[in-house]
Amino acid sequence: MEQTLSLRDVNWQTPYGDPLVTTVSFAVLRTALMCSISVAVAFFCGALIATLWRDSQRWLSETIRTMVGVMDGIGAILPALAIASALQLRSEWGTAVLVGLLTWNVVAAFLKDEFSSLDRAAFIEAALVLGASRWQILWQHALPHIAPRLVPLLLGLFAGCAGLMGALGFLGIAGDAKLSLGFMLYDAKSFVQQTPSYFIATFIGFAWVIAIPSALVWLFTKGQKYNSY
Amino acid sequence: MDLSARSHDSGFTVVLGKTILRIVVLLFVLHAAVFLAFDILPEAAYSQLGFAAVKKELLEETRQRMGLTGRLPERYWLSLTHCSRFDFGVSLRTGYPVAELLRRRALDSLPVVFTSLVVTISALLAGSWFYSTKRPSRWHHCVLALSPATLLPQFASASALATGAFFLLGLGTLSPSGLIGKSGRVTDALLITAVALMPAGILFTAAAKTALLMSRRRFVLTYEAIGLPWSRIRVLLQTNILQQMLPLANRALLALLLGTVFAELAFDRPGIGSVLTEAIRSGDQPVAAGWFLAVGGPVIFLSQALAAWNKRFPSAT
């Protein structure tokens, strides 16, 4: 006998009896909030270290360069796994801060390069000659100048942090397991025969968190390509 | 007298010396970090027993058993000497030596990791070979445009593939033929796909893009001008493309390792990846610490060796 599947046949509840759409939407928003915190922490630490890197003595700048190289080489997941498991992190806020602390290298390397190129820029020299203060130069000249490259970097970092937090949740290490998209993906596997909609909704929710910033990065970089012609 | 040869040798010695020194320092840093994280920050005995069940005598006994007694420098030195002999202690859960446990689990994972490595290298070679063309077709562009989809976080792709396998198993569509099952061929293929998807995607995309760029270089025009056939030019291009891929080798191997961790967990397979998850979830800290030392050492060695190689022999472009 031929069977047709309609939306009414879909189970709109999680295996725990909660409403599916609300639960997944809440988890997505929570992940987005945590990722924003991670990006803010990474940006703050990266900016601080980039300033140190630029203004410090040779040995310190060499040490920071080596640290950035090492962190680029080993990535953030392994250290995050080690620290989260050693500290037995249970708070999602703590995990967000930890993820931010482990991704500063991306921002620091970017800002150091940008600051170095701005040192020789004619418009900065002109602003200095006209008597602009350090803060005025930073807010009115330097930040608008680097914004077209900084924004895609931060959006990419957001997607990266979402992946990292999802990975930690998937392993059941950090944060409140029930609210983590990563753990929900792992958990949904066990219920795939009874409620496949749970897995599909969670997967789509996670894909949104990754896809939206990635699409924005693509739009930004594409726009810049056209502007440069 | 060949002065250039001598300067070349001394440059190589300096880079080699610096690299060895950096690797040694980083290994010490890794050990110190793991030691501090696992032996000091959380009270390992507390995390084993739980705060509610702590009795002074029991706590002291556990600390004795875990080697957490004595002053900090003594404990550090003891840990360092043990690690130098590849002795990572004993599992709290099973009482089994950690080094032996890791060795056995690594052997369990070896077939999957090796096959995934072969798949990854094949993807690299395929990208490099098929995209070494001056006039890419619509198919070339189409595949290249779709390739970023392989860069989906590894746990998500592993989860999707494993769920797909379990869903098919539950419906029984393929199970009568014996293709699906815990150790069936389709499940194995999906497991290998989950492990190799990201590293293969990274290398394929990078190799394809590099090959397209290389094919438009001036030296290719020179090759054509002297009458070399395109098949020969394509072979000559491969060395340049593969040399460009060297900085990505470390990232791809790291992705392979993490892919193993996620895929083994998603597919419920025992191996070097799942041993970490089991250790972390059950609070078996010696196993987790041993895993990070045993895996972190080669990762640091490889990343620094590749960085040094890249510095010493920078690519032609």
Q: Tell me if B285 is assigned to some domain.
A: yes
Among A3, A6, A1, A13, smallest CA distance to A196 is for A13
**Three-class secondary structure assignment of B1-15:** CCHHHHHHHHHHHHH
The answer to whether residue B66 sits within a structural domain is: no
- Domain membership of residue B58 (yes or no) is no
Tell me if B60 is assigned to some domain: no
Tens digit of each residue's pLDDT (9 = 90 or more) over A55-94:
777 888 888 888 888 788 778 888 888 888 777 777 888 8
* Cα–Cα distance measured from residue B7 to residue A219, given in angstroms and rounded to the nearest whole number: 48
Tell me which DSSP letter residue B176 carries: G
CA B185 to chain centre: 24
* Alpha-carbon dihedral sign for residues B262, B265, B267, B270: positive
Give B313's pLDDT tier (boundaries 50, 70, 90).
low
CB B214 within 8 A of CB B316: no
B97 by DSSP, 3-state: which?
A: strand
Q: Domain count of chain B?
A: 1
> Residue B44 falls within a domain, yes or no?
no
Q: What is the pLDDT of residue A120?
A: 76
Residue B195 has pLDDT above 90, yes or no: yes
Distance CA B154, CA B162 (A): 12
Q: Would residue B216 count as lying in a domain? A: yes
User: Shortest Cα distance from A18 to chain B (angstroms)?
Assistant: 21
Residue B157 lies in a domain: yes
Cα separation, A59 vs A71, in Å, equals 18
A120-153 in b/e burial notation, b at 16+ Cβ within 10 A? eeeebeebeeeebeeeebeeebbeebbeeebebb
Minimal Cβ distance to B37: which of A86, A163, A185: A86
Amino acid identity, position A146: I
Under an 8 A CB cutoff, do B170 and A199 touch?
no
Residue B97: strand pairing partners: B90
Which positions ≥6 away from A160 have C-beta within 8 Å?
A76, A103, A106
* Cβ-contact B293, B31 below 8 angstroms: yes
Comparing CA positions, the residue from B35, B44, B138, B118 lying closest to residue B79 is: B35
3-state secondary structure of B90: strand
Reported pTM? 0.82
Nearest CA in chain A to B306: A73
The CA angle B137-B194-A171, to the nearest 5 degrees, is 140
pLDDT over 90 at B177, yes or no: no
Q: B213-219: which pairs have CB atoms within 8 A and are 24 or more residues apart?
A: B214/B132, B214/B240, B214/B241, B214/B244, B215/B131, B215/B132, B215/B133, B215/B134, B216/B134
Read off the amino acid at residue B58: L
Among A186, A193, A207, the residue with its CB nearest the CB of B167 is A193
Contact A166 B156 (CB under 8 A): yes
Residue B143 contacts by C-beta under 8 Å, 6 or more apart in sequence?
A: B208
CB < 8 Å to B292, chain A: 78, 81-82
Question: Does the distance separating the beta carbons of A66 and B261 come in below 8 Å?
Answer: no
Look at residue A228 in the predicted model and tell me its pLDDT: 45
**Residue B193 lies in domain:** 2-38+86-312
Decide if pLDDT at B149 tops 50.
Answer: yes
Residues from A in contact with B at Cβ < 8 Å: 66, 69-70, 73-75, 77-78, 81-83, 85-88, 162-163, 166-167, 170-173, 182, 185-186, 188-189, 192-193, 196, 199, 203, 206-207, 210
Q: Check A88 against B292: CB less than 8 A apart.
A: no
pLDDT exceeds 50 at position B175: no
pLDDT at residue number A143: 87
Reduced to 3 states (helix: H, G, I; strand: E, B; else coil), residue B117 is helix
Q: Please provide the size of chain A in residues.
A: 229
User: B299 to chain A: which residues are within 8 Å by CB?
Assistant: 73-74, 78
First to last CA, chain A: 61
Residues B49/B50/B56/B62 CA torsion (nearest 10 deg): 20
pLDDT at site B174: 47
* One-character DSSP codes across B216-239: TSHHHHHHHHTT--HHHHHHHHHH
Confidence of residue B46 (pLDDT cuts 50, 70, 90): low
Contacts of A83 in chain B (CB under 8 A): 37
Q: Are A211 and A163 in contact (CB under 8 A)?
A: no
Q: How many Å lie between the alpha carbon of B153 and the closest alpha carbon of chain A?
A: 6
Please name the residue of chain A whose CA is at the shortest distance from the CA of residue B148: A214
Mutate to test the interface with A, among B250, B280, B282 (most CBs of A within 10 A): B280
Mapping DSSP to helix (H, G, I), strand (E, B) and coil, where does residue B33 land?
Answer: helix
Q: Is B52 exposed, middle or buried (0-12, 13-18, 19+ CB in 10 A)?
A: exposed
Dihedral sign, Cα of residue A163, residue A169, residue A173, residue A179: positive
What pLDDT band is residue B278 in, cutting at 50, 70 and 90?
A: confident
- At A131-154, the pLDDT tens digits run 888 888 888 888 888 888 899 999
Tokens of B70: 């004595």
From the candidates A99, A165, A170, which should be mutated to test the interface with B, based on the most B CB atoms within 10 A? Answer: A170
CATH of residue B145: 1.10.3720
Predicted ipTM > 0.90: no
